[in-house]
Amino acid sequence: MAARPERSKVLCYIVRDARLLVFRHVDEDWDESELQVPAGTVKAGETAQQAALREATEETGLSGLRVVRHLGECRYDMAPYRDEVQHRQVFLLALDGPAPERWLSQEDDPDDASGAHRFECYWLPVSQCHSLSAGHGALLGRLWDEITRP
C-alpha cells in the first residue's frame, strides 16, 4: 500500500476569556463537519505563522489577530474521508479588538477549491471543547495549561 501524501497544515486556537473561537459549517449536516477551529494549508513561500493568521482571518472575517505562540505539532490521518496525512502546526492566537459573541462568516476561496463555505462562529469555553472534530482538539491540553497557569 502506498503512503498517503502529507500536507502541511495549521490549526488556530483563538482564545478570549478562557473561551475558544469555534465554528460550524452552516450549509453542511452536523455529522459531516461538526465543530472546528480555523485551519488550513500552508501555501508555498509562506511560513506556518503567516498561514495561521491568513486562515484565521479568511475563515472568521476578524482583523486584529496575532500569534501568541506555537503550541506544538501533530499528525492526523484524514482517511477514509480524504487520502492525506496532515502535518499540523498548532498556534495560540489572540484577538486585539472587538468581536461579537456569535456571527456568520464566509470563506470564498478555500484551499480545496470546493467553493464558498459559510460558517457560524462563536466562543465556547475551552473546558467544553472536547467535541472538536477531525483531531482539531489534539493539543487542547497544552492550550488549557497555557491559559490556566498563573
pTM here is: 0.91
Does 83 score more than 70 pLDDT? yes
Q: What is the pLDDT of residue 21?
A: 98
Supply 102's cell numbers. Answer: 456569535
Q: Are 90 and 74 in contact (CB under 8 A)?
A: yes
Does 142 score more than 70 pLDDT? yes
Q: Which of 134, 118, 104 is nearest to 27 (CA)?
A: 118
Q: What is the DSSP annotation of 59-114? A: HH----EEEEEEEEEEEEE-TTTSS-EEEEEEEEEEE-S---SEEEEEESS-TT--
* Alpha carbon 15 to chain centroid, angstroms: 12
Domains of the chain from N-terminus onward: 6-142 (3.90.79.10)
Q: What is the pLDDT of residue 140?
A: 96
104's CB contacts (< 8 A; 6+ apart) are 26, 118, 119, 120, 121
Q: Are 127 and 140 in contact (CB under 8 A)?
A: no
**Counting Cβ atoms within 10 Å, is residue 108 exposed (0-12), middle (13-18) or buried (19+)?**
exposed
Model confidence pLDDT, tens digit, residues 108-128: 876 666 678 899 999 999 999
pLDDT band at 32 (very low <50, low <70, confident <90, very high): low
Nearest-angstrom CA–CA distance, 5 and 59:
25
